[in-house]
Structure 1
Amino acid sequence: MNHEEGYRLGTPISGSGQTGTQNQLLQNLPGTHEVDMKIFSNTFALMHTHYDGIYPIFSPGDILLFNNWIVWANTWNSIPTNTPKIPLNNLTLTVVTSNGNYLLAFDGSFVDPLPAFTPEGFDDLNTKYKNNYLDKTHTNGNFNMEKVEKEFLSFISEKMNMTGLKLYRVKSDGNYEISLSDLDGTKCP
């Protein structure tokens, strides 16, 4: 594909007659190759693809989206009349690429918004991510995913540190939590 595709998963909306997990195909933002990842109070998972030629793992925009989602959900939960409450540690963002699949989760600890970026500042952040981190991970477009994972985690630690963020490598036999101190990963029970 030459564009992203995505899905939103949610719980049934109370009083709607819905049952089971709600699965919705996401549309692309008009005039772009990016998915419009709208989030609602019943959303618990967002999944999207990255096509070849862009990031083989999460982008800075994905991290910002996930952080904004956690902050928004925490604010939603703080309003007594808002229901249902959103379990922060159940929210996930997944990316599927031809090089591997990854999932972001949040451990439910301290909620802290990332800094507000100006458009220029965010463009600079993306350029640094690409030039100073990801360019080290491939030869002629062939990515060494162990290096990608390490550089991604280094970038997050240095430039977009989000307390409680967890990265998982999604494999056919299960999910493996990976970190800078454990790049092999620990299989989730």
Structure 2
Amino acid sequence: MMIGTEQTQKEKIAFFERFEKEKSFSKNTQSNNYAVPFRNSMLAYFDNYPEKRTELENKYGTFDLKVSSQDMDLENGRKLLMFPMLTDGKVIAVIGGVINAERDYLYFDVYKDGHPDRDYLIQTFQQYYNSLSMGRTIDVGEVIIIVKKPQLSKPDPWDEDPGGDGHDMNGGSGDYGDGSGSSGTNPNTPSTPDPCGQMKDLKNKSEYAKNTKYLEGKTSATTESGFRVGDPAKGSNQVGTQFQELSNKPGDGNGSLDFKIFDTTFGIMHSHYDSLISIFSPDDVNLFIQLLKNAKANGIPINKVFVSVVTVDGTYQLRGNNIDPDKLTMYTPNEIKSLNQTYSAKMGNPNISKEALQKEFLKFMETSMKIEGAKLYEQDRDGKTAEVTKEGPKVDCPI
């Protein structure tokens, strides 16, 4: 890794921003446990860079993210928290995470040989595992190990050795979340991934591919199917991007899907069966607006938001760059009813070509629903994606 240089980030790391906002309003003990944002940030980093987890665990042992130190205040408003790393039940190493005062830059380093506190930290965490081997094996959930600060001569794990290889993990909101914001020092991460980059990351997740395949098999059904996509629920032990199958609206005899979204939701995947128009409906576009507003309210990067639809004629995603949710307004049921009439008149012709349908939809979305910056992407069965434009040919996304 390159030597990391702390820099001012424009965007806070979302896990810390949401945690501290919730913490300020809650007296719940769990809400005050900084292990939650440190752990979720680390898991998000590994979701973005799985090779880094493999590298560190091969070298130092497996992370136990249910066990941590208490959080400690360092100079300049920074916070520190530690996790143990084990091999065959033995603590081999301890990794410390340090978040800056602005909450927009975070690094993790393993306490290396020669660090004055390394042995003490390993022994302190090992005492907990020794107690388990003596018969106390009840799962108590998250465990906080109190590390005595007076016994630490240098709590910060970073040894500042100019001849070293830099931080083990470091970066800004793009690294510890979803690919948005600053990318820290990882040379392989763009600072603001465009929709093509976001879709590539999503396609690489096995659950996304599996669920898309499932929805392809639902285009001959008589009702829609779908999935809610989001970050791990707050305070949970969930890891990585979450996919939850949608249920029908309670008491709805028509089999309509319940598109309820939560404060961690950033995407919706769903199908259109044969008798529906094979592209997004006005309701789908309204859902996209709702997701954008939800993202703005909950610190989710806007360029992470998407809605996908799987139809008999193709799979599409709605995404965007630089969309301002504050300029958007949700449409009322009566307005959607009126929009449906215009939509059906323009795109309901069963003889309309696929290309004409795509271009008519883009014109409709721009003139009738007015989402500046929204983009339409088509994904083929092989996973290749391309932006559909109002004029001219499609623009292929890099493979």
The yes-or-no answer on 1:34 pairing with 2:34 is no
Distance 1:18 1:31, change over 3 A: same
**Higher percent of residues as strand:** 1
Is the CA contact 2:233–2:264 (under 8 Å) kept in the aligned structure 1? yes
Larger deviation, residues 157-166 vs 105-114: 105-114
Task: Work out which of the residue numbers 59, 67, 70 in structure 1 matches 2:289.
Answer: 67
Aligned to 2:360: 151
- Aligned equivalents of 1:100 and 1:116: distance in 2? 26
- Aligned equivalents of 1:44 and 1:116: distance in 2? 19
The yes-or-no answer on 1:53 pairing with 2:275 is yes
CA positional deviation for 1:115: 5.9
Corresponding pairs, count = 174
Is the CA contact 1:35–1:48 (under 8 Å) kept in the aligned structure 2? no
CA positional deviation for 1:167: 0.6
- For normalisation by structure 2, the TM-score amounts to 0.41
Higher RCO structure (Cα 8 Å, ≥6 apart): 1
The yes-or-no answer on 1:135 pairing with 2:344 is no
Q: Between Structure 1 and Structure 2, whose CA radius of gyration is higher?
A: 2
Give 4+ residue runs of structure 1 displaced > 3 Å after superposition.
114-118
Distance 1:51 1:118, change over 3 A: closer
The gaps in structure 1 that reach 5 residues or longer are 78-84
- Aligned equivalents of 2:225 and 2:364: distance in 1? 25
Task: Render the CA deviation track for 1:70-92: whole Å, top value 9, x for unaligned.
Answer: 12321x14xxxxxxx20110111
The yes-or-no answer on 1:9 pairing with 2:226 is no
- Alignment partner of 2:293: what SS? helix
The yes-or-no answer on 1:25 pairing with 2:245 is yes
Task: Render the CA deviation track for 1:71-129: whole Å, top value 9, x for unaligned.
Answer: 2321x14xxxxxxx20110111000011111000121332222364352x321210111
- For normalisation by structure 1, the TM-score amounts to 0.84
Residue type of the partner of 2:303?
Answer: N
Task: Work out which of the residue numbers 112, 120, 126 in structure 1 matches 2:340.
Answer: 126
- Aligned equivalents of 2:307 and 2:330: distance in 1? 20
- Aligned equivalents of 1:157 and 1:116: distance in 2? 15
CA positional deviation for 1:10: 1.7
- Alignment partner of 1:20: what SS? coil
Residue type of the partner of 2:292?
Answer: I
**Higher percent of residues as helix:** 2
Aligned to 2:107: none
Is the CA contact 2:266–2:291 (under 8 Å) kept in the aligned structure 1? no
**CA RMSD after TM alignment:** 1.7
Aligned to 1:98: 312
The gaps in structure 2 that reach 5 residues or longer are 1-220
Task: Render the CA deviation track for 1:114-168: whole Å, top value 9, x for unaligned.
Answer: 364352x32121011101x1134x32xxx52111101111111221110121110
- Aligned equivalents of 2:223 and 2:276: distance in 1? 10
Is the CA contact 1:114–1:162 (under 8 Å) kept in the aligned structure 2? no
Aligned to 1:177: 387
The yes-or-no answer on 1:164 pairing with 2:377 is no
CA positional deviation for 1:43: 1.6
Equivalent runs, 1:73-92 vs 2, <5 Å: 73-74=295-296, 76-77=297-298, 85-92=299-306
- Aligned equivalents of 1:118 and 1:8: distance in 2? 22
Q: Could you tell me the percent identity over the aligned residues?
A: 35
CA positional deviation for 1:60: 0.4
- Aligned equivalents of 2:383 and 2:271: distance in 1? 20
- Aligned equivalents of 2:374 and 2:254: distance in 1? 28
